[in-house]
Chain A
Amino acid sequence: NAGVTQTPKFRVLKTGQSMTLLCAQDMNHEYMYWYRQDPGMGLRLIHYSVGEGTTAKGEVPDGYNVSRLKKQNFLLGLESAAPSQTSVYFCASSYLGGRDEQFFGPGTRLTVL
């Protein structure tokens, strides 16, 4: 099993450009999450999903959109990137939501110039 994978690993954008980050998991987990991590800080939840076709806002959702068209995939979109969105983005999945371990991907390092 590959676990949780993220593509791309690195990306540089110019202000105003758009992009989509892809997260895939092969563990048949219902719950998936997108976090951002800024230097010296913990993980902040952007959006999450409790199952295929569902999405919900987290702590810092502004400027991001998500979609969960297939159970195994969770997409994070930036429609008009801003320098404040420079961060490392982590995807995670779990079987029981907040009641068990979340499995994390390796992260995507995004720089917005």
Chain B
Amino acid sequence: GESVGLHLPTLSVQEGDNSIINCAYSNSASDYFIWYKQESGKGPQFIIDIRSNMDKRQGQRVTVLLNKTVKHLSLQIAATQPGDSAVYFCAERNGNKLVFGAGTILRVKS
């Protein structure tokens, strides 16, 4: 059958607008979550992380929100720029490992 991984969700936003990328996680016991950005041909780069004792954390132009009730994580990017175009991955802790989601493509239109 068709692999859903071959069709990543895509978010297209206008330059200057805010972006919201969503992620559902599976393990209600996970206590650490992280967002990565991956540009074409490069390795993933750390953006921001959050521990389960928090529901919001802010960085430079980015905010991560954690809703443990519905097992949902979101990444908000303020004033999106062309350089933000990339694939964004969320990950949750599983023991000594991270489990990564399939990713979301962010396209920024100028």
Contact = CB atoms under 8 A, between A and B. Distances in A.
> Are A and B a genuine interacting pair, yes or no?
yes
Interface of A: 4, 31, 33, 38-45, 48, 50, 58, 90, 97-107
A31 B102 CA distance: 23
Contacts of A97: 95-97
Interface stretch (B12-20, B39-47, B68-76): B39-47
A33 B42 contact: no
A45 B43 contact: no
A5 B46 CA distance: 16
A105 B38 CA distance: 12
Given A43-B100, A99-B31, A104-B36, 10 more contacts: A39-B6, A40-B7, A42-B100, A50-B96, A90-B44, A97-B95, A98-B94, A100-B32, A100-B49, A104-B44
Contact of A42 (B34, B41, B46, B101): B101
Interface of B: 3, 5-8, 31-32, 34, 36, 41-46, 49, 89, 93-103
16 contacts: A40-B5, A40-B7, A41-B102, A42-B100, A42-B103, A43-B89, A44-B100, A45-B97, A98-B93, A98-B97, A101-B49, A102-B34, A104-B43, A104-B45, A106-B42, A106-B43
Contacts of A38: 5
B82 to A, nearest CB: 22
The winner among B44, B89, B93 for most chain A CB atoms within 10 A is B44
Top 7 closest pairs, chain A to chain B, by CB: A104-B43, A97-B96, A41-B5, A98-B93, A42-B100, A43-B100, A40-B6
Contacts of A100: 32, 49
